Amino acid sequence: MQYTFDVFCTTIIPTVGRDSLARAVTSVLTQTFTAAHEVIVVNDSERPLPAAPWQTDNRVRIIETQQREKCVARNTGAALAQGTYLHFLDDDDWLLPDALAALHQAAQQNHDAAWIYGTARFEDPQGKLVGTINLKRNGNCFTQVVAGQWIPLQASLIRADTFFAVGGFHPTMFVTEDLDLARRIGLVATFAGTETEVACILRGQDWGSTSNYEAGPEWVRWGRDRILAEPGAFARLLASADDGFWHGRIFHAYLTTALYNIRQRRFGTAFTRGTLAAAALLRAGKYAFTAAYWRALRTHHVGRDFH
């Protein structure tokens, strides 16, 4: 099913009523981009939002959920969206003025891409730059997202049809849900980016979050094991590995999921993952003899460091 709405994109902002919500919404409404776009604020706080000027803008809709967590709130907003693309913004983050114009241009230049992204800028609560991140790859990026390369939702547009085709956000994942979505989209679709800075994400020593990041590693392992079980995953991984490092990350992914399944006492699945790890090593060919390949095996947090 192809979506042909006149609205280019819908920004969905789940909120628990933090004071920073006004900045997030206003950053979308004041974009230099002139084509039609809308904002859906999903109030997941179980209490009314304080009155604010942005609530009178006809591009904004407010819907209510009952503390159902971010994934459910985002999926609910997406179900009501009219945009060809979906944009997910947290209530403590914000867009830069030319963000939608830059992402629109990238989308026009890459019609087949389901995930369009730009550079994310990280700032601490005092406005000091912490770092930036950009995948800097187009096309099939499945190995990169399986390996843990982070493409922030705040700096991304996702085609609505692809989002719904893969099932949206997993409703029981309360952390690392963005990585999980990127993996499922990466299995079936392509990515395209611009190096333009498009979003600011709040980070730093005094930053507070509603997410339980201590549970993150276990959710990452669960999601990676689940995506590697999908038909065509092995071939898709090989097609997106173009150097020794990424071939090494394929071997690493299957080896670590084999160990994960051993700990879960799923020995048959562990054997399958181990067999595919061996196949990945063989398919790496000449790349298996490079330093980059073995560096990939020692790397634990691909894409988590800012650069």
User: What string of pLDDT tens digits covers the 307 residues of the chain?
Assistant: 344 458 999 999 999 889 999 999 999 999 999 889 999 999 998 888 999 999 999 999 999 987 677 899 999 999 999 999 999 999 999 999 999 999 999 999 999 999 999 999 999 988 899 999 999 999 999 999 999 899 999 999 999 999 999 999 998 887 889 999 999 999 999 999 999 999 999 986 555 555 555 767 888 899 999 999 999 999 999 999 999 999 999 999 999 999 999 999 999 999 999 999 999 999 999 999 999 999 999 887 665 444 4
Contact 139, 190 (CB under 8 A): yes
Q: What is the rounded CA–CA span in Å between residue 164 and residue 84?
A: 12
CB atoms within 10 A of CB 217: 12
DSSP strand pairing (37-43 vs 7-15): parallel
What are the start-end ranges of the H helices in 134-232? Answer: 142-146, 160-165, 177-188, 216-228
3-state secondary structure of 214: helix
3-state secondary structure of 254: helix
* Homologous superfamily of domain range 7-209: Spore Coat Polysaccharide Biosynthesis Protein SpsA; Chain A (3.90.550.10)
Tell me the domain boundaries of the chain: 7-209, 216-298
The shares of helix, strand and coil residues in the chain, as percent rounded to the nearest 5, are 45, 20, 35
The pTM (predicted TM-score) of the whole model is 0.92
